Amino acid sequence: MRLSVSPTRMELLRLKKRVLLAQRGHRLLKNKQDELIRQFMPLVKEVIGLRKEVEEGLKKAFQSFVTARMLISPEFIEEALMWPGERITLEVSYKYIVGVKVPEYEIKKEGDIHNYGLASTSSELDIALKAYSDLSPSLVKLASLEKTLELLAAEIERTRRRVNA
């Protein structure tokens, strides 16, 4: 890139300051990019492990539910599950990771998942509902971590473009 400048000492000093400022800005952006990547990599490993755990839990819960559907009539299952006994609220808070605003979700449960007569239902239905209830915090944590990864990846990409510009 060529600039048409007048060959004076004042112009030389001004250009030197401009180059130093550009180098400092580049160094800061590079440090930000490195820190974003350093924060990103452990989250990827955590998400992979948590996703595997959640998928296994969902598979077991679904198998229990399918078994319960074989043992109990569909009308009775629908009647048993019609009125939810457990109330779940989701609270969202935000934190900053290297200047990126990421959400943190917290789940709060109230009530009991069993709002039907335990004597009149299969134990498989109870096991399935308990498994789904136990998985809900892990699902919410997985969603939070995946959203964090998505936001960090977008910021890494933006920063990489600015560093390479």
Q: Please report whether residue 64 resides in a domain.
A: yes
**Would you list the DSSP string of the chain?**
--------HHHHHHHHHHHHHHHHHHHHHHHHHHHHHHHHHHHHHHHHHHHHHHHHHHHHHHHHHHHHHHHS-HHHHHHHHSS--EEEEEEEEEEEETTEEEEEEEEEEEE-S--S-GGGS-HHHHHHHHHHHHHHHHHHHHHHHHHHHHHHHHHHHHHHHHHH-
Give the pLDDT band (50/70/90) at residue 115: low
With a cut of 90, say whether residue 1 has pLDDT above it: no
Residue 120: the pLDDT is 65
Q: Please report whether residue 2 resides in a domain.
A: no
Q: Who wins on pLDDT, 7 or 52?
A: 52
In which region does residue 82 sit, left (phi positive, over 0), alpha (psi from -120 to 50) or beta (all else)? alpha
In which region does residue 28 sit, left (phi positive, over 0), alpha (psi from -120 to 50) or beta (all else)? alpha
Percent of the chain with pLDDT over 70: 95
Tell how strand 100-111 and strand 86-97 pair up.
antiparallel
Phi, psi for 57 (deg, rounded to 5): -65, -40
Q: Count of domains in the chain?
A: 1
Q: 113: domain CATH number?
A: 1.10.287.3240
Among the listed residues 119, 126, 135, 133, the one whose alpha carbon sits nearest the alpha carbon of residue 68: 126
With a cut of 80, say whether residue 111 has pLDDT above it: no
Q: Please report whether residue 135 resides in a domain.
A: yes
Q: Please report whether residue 3 resides in a domain.
A: no
Q: Please report whether residue 47 resides in a domain.
A: yes
Bridge partners of 44, per DSSP, are none
Range of the domain at 121: 9-164
